[in-house]
């Protein structure tokens, strides 16, 4: 009886027992309709069909927890499983299918080909493997003897273990591949066709327990629990080889190869062990390792040689400038914070860490040193002068005129410090009628135009995380590094008057473009607030049966429409075959159809399936899910900073040593020669360093002789820029990359944008206004990388350049032959900057992402919402701009490192990591035990100032108001003259937080009685941050500050004619720069200049190669 039961179990999944074995021996299995039972299924009810193998529509999806409890390993990533995916399908509603093998059963039920074994197959395979091992130990069957004989005589053709291209593996091997979810199988209703893995190819480390011979597995690394000396023999994990652990080593299922070669499921990590009751560890036994590639152990990093090592920075900033100094710190500069202790923000949960500082102190000031100076005293001013005399950079946020009144401004110090670079960050600039106005991040974003694009029509919304300050911090740090590089070359320092107002106004993607090109675009001149709907109307957040998903038909509408049609959504068939331009012509109808199509499905599973089909959907993740992202673990985004005094053995160590504080510690990933690029974070300083100690570590700099780049050239003359002489070859497109090279070009670099006619679609076409706005300060050259001579031409250009920057998907430049190692062999001093969505390695490296998608998966969309909404998010491509700023900063830092070390540098920047870095304080709170922030509208999630809100005024406009401290609150309460505010006990911020509704109600009533402009002027008169929510019309026609500083500049373009452009967002030594080049009029406008001057071709050769379509 037992033998008969065992026989039936072994045969199950391919026909059952003896009869199934007879069919296989007779060779009839391949002709047998494996899923014939599906033809007898009842007719499907009306309505949308299920997705390929994503599950069922609402009412037809079993809850994820129920499916996992049933023992099925679904394709939802492990990090998301515990969070629940929603759905809500009852077990009784599931289609009843004939009992068959686990993989077949799961595929028919919507689990997918990669679902893995069911609960019966686990024990069956274990027993079958034991029997085979015993049988092979007693005797070798005929097939084994044949293979051994073939190996002995060296006959690979007769050795059946050697897989040859085009030769089938045999019916048993094919059956095993089908069972394991990697073979073709037969059709299952609703199942999407999946490409087979190439013959003879297996993932490293995979072992079957079936009849196939065991594939050799690479030996594990030291300390890896899967290390095995004998790849043919199974052992328990080394770390868990004790009673109570699993009897068998955890079995790792490989990631499927799907429509995109090499695409790993977002968030997927191979799961070790089966979801089966019998294989669960014994009570009290140590947990088995969950992942084959374990997350890097977080440890306290020692200081390393950063890109900016040797650069000395005096940080004289408040909250509006702390981010700039933080960036310089992480790039290796020695930053001394010369100010009083900063605002701590939320206290950390660990008492020892909280004693060092709050979240904002750890985030902004980690790794800095501190020396408090009172500039109001003569002794303090003298100390400040002594510090500046030996520093390279000063970053300050002082009120315009204060340093000059004290005699310690740049003009006073420059004669003594000729190489000094001072970057002054102010809300509106040091000059102009509003130079003395005050601001908060909310009011700076409001006045700059950010709130005119984000939110709902009647509810302006600020992007979470103080992004106006972050914008200014990136640009300020870039100016500082480029200024120091120029000063060391020329001996001449500089003063940079940076306006947050100008930085924000010029970095809002479509705001100025729509206004200045209303005659060219079918869009309103004043861009509206429209929730999550992108300005091209091709991205939006759509509600699903469970959660929200970022939907878009771009960049591959055909793949999306075919998928929708497969599920029975027939109305998209007329759109199949349309090119992207034609799809944009009917984009409103397409988006409406998309919203209706996704509504019945689970958002998370829909996202995974879309990515497997090369469709750029994105799931909306909260902060906890962002922190669990395996891509961040793989690439080492998070690092730990030790808590001073908490190390074991320290004299003042606490009884319970505190855990190190975990932080996102670098905005880009360096893999360079001669430098580590970024340095790991440290704690904020807890004590002041004596002045003499600081001066002892900062010896005086030797004088640098002025070295003109050409005879008769004055490096300090007009229109001299810090990056003069730097040559950049630019392989970028759309926004993130072009915005980086635009900033570098404004700073003086000679940027050559290389593309071809095939890539000049929509926003990449010189005839489109978008191209005009984001490609100034560049020259245009064409090169067809598919041409046989393209690589040789690219080499001649790259050999004469300093920087190569690209923002294509991972692997594109490698396919052209322009990978880093090849290019480095041509030009060892080249700085190679790669910008991609998720980075060039890791489980998410092939995820398709654009800015709206990145917003969703890095937490920005989740946090940028009202408390009663979940479908808003940023109204423009925020992370594209942040990535452009980060790439520009990294490029100038890499140039500084190259100048110091003589070696080229390699930078791998992921927009996903830049987005996570933008909400860094929220991640710090989550990782350090503080309650993670939740969507709360315009509430300041970092310091929670009250008030910090936007109010509607009598003229229908909106005004933003903030009180950042008790002094500003007293002035605000006096201006409002409201009895409710005088009697409620609101003098301190904790009291105001307790009565937030009362404060907001009083301000709303006050604002409703006057115009927004009057409200702003009345509050600014008493030094309270206030600002109108300005749109493009306000900024261009009614902003006296922009007009006085010459921010908008009239230009004449060869194609577009008379236009207006924004200027560089700072005055450099008091000078307002004009663009050296407007955007190219057509592709290849500068071909002859570029290919002759830089690449060394003759004019005749360029003409010939142009006719040969190389330069086309």
The segment(s) of the chain belonging to CATH 3.30.1540.10 are: 948-1044
Neighbours of 205 (CB within 10 A): 18
| Residue whose pair of structure tokens reads 């005293």 in the numeric block | 377
Lookup: tokens for 18: 């003896």
Percent of the chain with pLDDT over 90: 61
What pLDDT sits at residue 648?
46
Token pair 């009839």: residue? 28
Cβ 835 vs Cβ 862: under 8 Å: no
Domain with CATH 3.40.50.10540 in the chain: 312-514+668-695
> pLDDT digits over 443-460, tens only?
999 999 999 999 999 999
What tokens were used for 927?
């990782």
Which of 109-118, 239-248, 812-821 has maximum average pLDDT? 812-821
Quick one: 948-1044 is in which CATH superfamily? Answer: formyl-coa transferase, domain 3 (3.30.1540.10)
Place of tokens 């001149």: 525
User: Whats the size of the chain, residue-wise?
Assistant: 1112
d(CA 363, CA 917): 10
342 or 402, higher pLDDT: 402
Q: Are 485 and 892 in contact (CB under 8 A)?
A: yes
Q: What is the spatial distance between Cα 314 and Cα 691, in angstroms, rounded to a whole number?
A: 13
Structure-token match 């490409």, residue found: 195
* Half-sphere exposure for 821 (CA within 13 Å, toward CB): 2
Alpha-carbon distances, residue 207 vs 93, 213, 853 (angstroms):
36, 9, 36
Work out the average pLDDT over 264-289.
35
d(CA 481, CA 777): 20
pLDDT range class, residue 641, cuts 50, 70, 90: confident
- Percent of the chain past pLDDT 70, that is, above it, reads 69
Confidence of residue 708 (pLDDT cuts 50, 70, 90): low
Q: What are the tokens at 930?
A: 């503080």
Lowest-confidence range among 635-649, 800-814, 830-844, 1098-1112? 635-649
Q: Evaluate whether 741 touches 910 at the Cβ level (below 8 Å).
A: no
Buried b (16+ CB within 10 A) or exposed e, 112-151: bbbbbbbbbbbebbbebbeeeeeeeeeeeeeeeeebeebe
Cis peptide bond N-terminal to 947, omega within 30: yes
Q: Is residue 151 very low, low, confident or very high in pLDDT (cuts 50, 70, 90)?
A: low
DSSP 8-state symbol, 143: H
- Nearest CA-CA partner of 342 in 311, 312, 363: 363
CB 849 within 8 A of CB 837: yes
Model pLDDT, residue 257? 38
**Is pLDDT at 999 greater than 70 in this prediction?**
yes
pLDDT of residue 983: 79
**Residue 1053 near residue 772 (C-beta atoms within 8 A):** yes
Report whether pLDDT(976) > 80.
yes
pLDDT at 797: 97
- 346 burial via Cβ count (<10 Å: 0-12, 13-18, 19+): buried
Q: Is the pLDDT of residue 239 over 90?
A: no
Q: Where are the alpha helices (DSSP H) in 864-919?
A: 878-901, 911-918
Q: What is the pLDDT of residue 295?
A: 38
Helices (H) then strands (E): counts for the chain: 44, 26
The correct answer on CATH 3.40.50.720 for the domain covering 312-514+668-695 is no
Measured over the CA atoms of residue 159, residue 165, residue 166 and residue 170, the dihedral's sign is positive
**CB-CB contact of 1032 with 450 (8 Å):** no
Q: Is the confidence at residue 267, as pLDDT, over 60?
A: no
What is the pTM assigned to this prediction?
A: 0.76
The conformational region for residue 1029 under phi > 0 = left, psi -120 to 50 = alpha, else beta, is: beta
Question: Environment class of residue 887 by beta-carbon count within 10 Å: exposed (0-12), middle (13-18) or buried (19+)?
Answer: buried
The answer on pLDDT for 189 being more than 80 is no
Q: Cα–Cα distance between 718 and 1069 in angstroms, integer? A: 10
Task: State CA 819 to chain mean position distance.
Answer: 22
Report the 10 Å Cβ neighbour count for 425: 29
Name 1037's Cβ contacts closer than 8 Å, sequence gap at least 6. none
* Choice between 580 and 34, residue whose per-residue pLDDT is larger: 580
DSSP letter (8 states) at residue 876: S
Per the DSSP assignment, residues forming a β-bridge with 272 are 252
Q: Which of 63-77, 643-657, 726-740, 947-961 has the lowest mean pLDDT?
A: 63-77
Cα-based distances in Å from 727 to 744, 772, 800, 1084:
10, 21, 8, 17
| Element holding 403 (H helix, E strand) | helix 402-406
- How far apart CA 970 and CA 968 sit, in angstroms, is 5
Contacts of 533 (CB under 8 A, 6+ apart): 539, 540, 591
Q: What is the DSSP letter of 161?
A: T
762: tokens are: 């929509």
Query: DSSP states of 219-288 as a string?
Result: PPPTT-TT--S-TTS----GGG-STTS-SSPPPBPPPPP-SSTTPPPTT--PBBS-S-GGGSPPTTPPPP
Over residues 789-809, the pLDDT tens digits come to 999 999 999 999 999 999 998
| Least-confidence region, from 41-45, 629-633, 681-685 | 41-45
Task: Please give the pLDDT value at position 666.
Answer: 84
Coil, strand or helix at 1034: helix
Across the range 496-513, mean pLDDT stands at: 97
pLDDT tens profile 1079-1093 = 999 999 999 999 999
Q: How confident is the model at residue 132 (pLDDT cuts 50, 70, 90)?
A: low
Q: Provide the sign of the torsion angle of the four alpha carbons 511, 515, 517, 521, taken in this order.
A: positive
Contacts of 378 (CB under 8 A, 6+ apart): none
Q: At residue 692, does pLDDT exceed 70? A: yes
């Amino acid at each position: 009886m037992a033998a008969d039961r065992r026989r039936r179990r072994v045969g199950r999944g391919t026909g059952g027992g003896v009869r199934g074995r007879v069919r296989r021996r007779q060779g009839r299995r391949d002709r047998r309709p494996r899923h014939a039972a599906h033809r007898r299924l009842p007719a499907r009810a009306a309505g949308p069909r299920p997705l390929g193998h994503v599950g069922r529509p609402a009412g037809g999806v079993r809850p994820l927890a129920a499916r996992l409890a049933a023992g099925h390993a679904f394709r939802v990533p492990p990090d998301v499983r515990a969070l629940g995916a929603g759905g809500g399908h009852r077990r009784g509603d599931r289609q009843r299918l004939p009992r068959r093998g686990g993989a077949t059963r799961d595929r028919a039920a919507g689990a997918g080909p990669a679902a893995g074994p069911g609960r019966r197959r686990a024990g069956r395979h274990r027993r079958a493997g034991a029997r085979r091992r015993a049988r092979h130990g007693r005797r070798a069957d005929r097939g084994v003897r044949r293979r051994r004989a073939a190996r002995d005589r060296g006959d690979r053709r007769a050795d059946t273990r050697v897989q040859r291209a085009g030769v089938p593996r045999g019916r048993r091997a094919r059956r095993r591949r089908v069972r394991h979810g990697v073979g073709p199988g037969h059709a299952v209703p609703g199942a999407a066709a999946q490409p087979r893995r190439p013959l003879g190819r297996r993932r490293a480390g995979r072992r079957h327990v079936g009849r196939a011979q065991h594939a050799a597995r690479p030996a594990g690394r030291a300390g890896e629990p899967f290390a095995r000396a004998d790849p043919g023999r199974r052992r328990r994990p080394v770390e868990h080889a004790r009673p109570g652990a699993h009897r068998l080593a955890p079995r790792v299922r490989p990631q499927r190869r799907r429509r995109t070669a090499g695409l790993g499921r977002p968030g997927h990590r191979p799961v070790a062990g089966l979801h089966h009751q019998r294989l669960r560890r014994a009570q009290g036994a140590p947990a088995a390792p969950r992942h084959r590639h374990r997350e890097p152990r977080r440890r306290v990093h020692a200081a390393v040689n950063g890109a900016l090592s040797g650069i000395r920075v005096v940080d004289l900033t408040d909250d509006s400038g702390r981010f700039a100094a933080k960036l310089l710190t992480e790039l290796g500069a020695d930053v001394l914070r010369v100010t009083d202790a900063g605002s701590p923000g939320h206290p950390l949960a660990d008492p020892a860490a909280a004693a060092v500082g709050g979240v904002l102190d750890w985030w902004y000031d980690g790794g800095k040193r501190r020396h408090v100076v009172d500039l109001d005293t003569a002794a303090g001013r003298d100390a400040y002068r002594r510090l500046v005399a030996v520093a390279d950079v000063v970053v300050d946020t002082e009120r315009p005129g204060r340093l000059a009144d004290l005699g310690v401004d740049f003009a006073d110090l420059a004669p003594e410090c000729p190489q000094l670079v001072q970057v002054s960050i102010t809300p509106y600039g040091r000059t102009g009628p509003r130079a003395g106005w005050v601001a908060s991040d909310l009011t700076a974003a409001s006045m700059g135009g950010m709130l005119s694009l984000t939110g709902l029509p009647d509810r302006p919304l600020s992007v979470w995380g103080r992004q106006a300050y972050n914008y200014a911090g990136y640009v300020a740090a870039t100016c500082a590094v480029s200024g120091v590089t120029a000063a060391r070359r020329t001996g001449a320092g500089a003063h940079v008057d940076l306006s947050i107002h100008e930085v924000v106004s010029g970095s809002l993607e479509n705001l100025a473009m729509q206004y200045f090109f209303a005659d060219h675009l079918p869009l309103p001149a004043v861009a509206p607030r429209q929730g999550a709907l992108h300005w091209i109307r091709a991205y939006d957040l759509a509600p699903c049966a469970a959660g929200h998903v970022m939907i878009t038909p771009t960049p591959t509408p055909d793949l999306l429409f075919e998928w929708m049609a497969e599920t029975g959504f027939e109305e998209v068939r007329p759109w199949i075959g349309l090119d992207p331009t034609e799809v944009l012509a009917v984009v409103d109808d397409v988006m409406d159809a998309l919203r209706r199509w996704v509504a019945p499905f689970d958002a998370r599973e829909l996202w995974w399936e879309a990515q497997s089909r090369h469709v750029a959907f994105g799931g909306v993740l909260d902060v906890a899910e962002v922190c669990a992202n395996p891509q961040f673990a793989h690439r080492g985004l998070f690092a730990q900073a030790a808590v001073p005094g908490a190390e074991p053995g320290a004299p003042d160590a606490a009884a319970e040593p505190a855990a190190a504080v975990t932080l996102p510690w670098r905005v880009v990933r360096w893999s360079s020669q001669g430098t580590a690029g970024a340095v790991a974070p440290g704690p904020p300083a807890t004590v002041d360093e004596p002045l003499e100690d600081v001066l002892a570590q900062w010896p005086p700099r030797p004088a640098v002789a002025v070295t003109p780049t050409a005879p008769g050239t004055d490096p300090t003359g007009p229109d001299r820029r810090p990056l003069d002489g730097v040559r950049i070859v630019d392989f970028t497109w759309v926004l993130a990359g072009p915005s980086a090279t635009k900033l570098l070009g404004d700073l003086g670099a000679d940027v050559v944008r290389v593309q071809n006619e095939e890539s000049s679609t929509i926003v990449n076409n010189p005839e489109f206004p978008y191209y005009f706005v984001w490609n100034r300060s560049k020259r245009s050259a064409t090169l067809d990388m598919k041409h046989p001579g393209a690589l040789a031409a690219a080499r001649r250009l790259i050999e004469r350049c300093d920087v190569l920057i690209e923002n294509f998907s991972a692997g594109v430049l490698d396919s052209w032959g322009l990978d880093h190692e090849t290019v480095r062999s041509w030009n060892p001093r080249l700085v190679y900057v790669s910008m991609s969505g998720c980075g060039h390695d890791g489980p998410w490296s092939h995820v398709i992402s654009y800015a709206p998608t990145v917003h969703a998966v890095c937490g920005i969309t989740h946090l940028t919402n009202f408390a009663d909404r979940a479908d808003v998010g940023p109204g423009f491509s925020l992370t594209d701009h942040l990535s452009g700023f980060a790439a520009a900063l990294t490029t100038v830092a890499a140039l500084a490192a190259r100048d110091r070390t003589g070696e080229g540098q390699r930078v791998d920047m992921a927009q996903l990591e830049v987005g996570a870095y933008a909400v860094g304080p929220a991640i710090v709170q989550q990782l350090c035990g503080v309650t993670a922030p939740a969507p709360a509208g315009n509430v300041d999630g970092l310091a929670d100032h009250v008030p910090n809100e936007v109010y509607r005024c009598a003229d229908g406009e909106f005004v933003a108001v903030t009180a950042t401290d008790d002094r500003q609150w007293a002035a605000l309460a006096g201006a409002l003259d409201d009895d409710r505010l005088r009697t409620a006990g609101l003098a301190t911020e904790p009291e105001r937080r307790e009565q937030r509704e009362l404060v907001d109600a009083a301000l709303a009533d006050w604002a409703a009685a006057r115009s927004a402009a009057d409200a702003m002027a009345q509050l600014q008169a008493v030094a309270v941050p206030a600002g109108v929510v300005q749109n493009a019309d306000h900024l261009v026609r009614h902003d006296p500050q922009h007009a006085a500083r010459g921010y908008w500049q009239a230009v004449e373009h060869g194609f577009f004619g008379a236009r207006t452009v924004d200027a560089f967002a700072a005055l450099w030594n008091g000078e307002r720069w004009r663009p050296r080049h407007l955007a190219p009029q057509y592709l290849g406008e500068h071909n002859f200049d570029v290919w002759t001057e830089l690449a060394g071709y003759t004019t005749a050769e360029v003409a010939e190669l142009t006719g040969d379509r190389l330069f086309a």
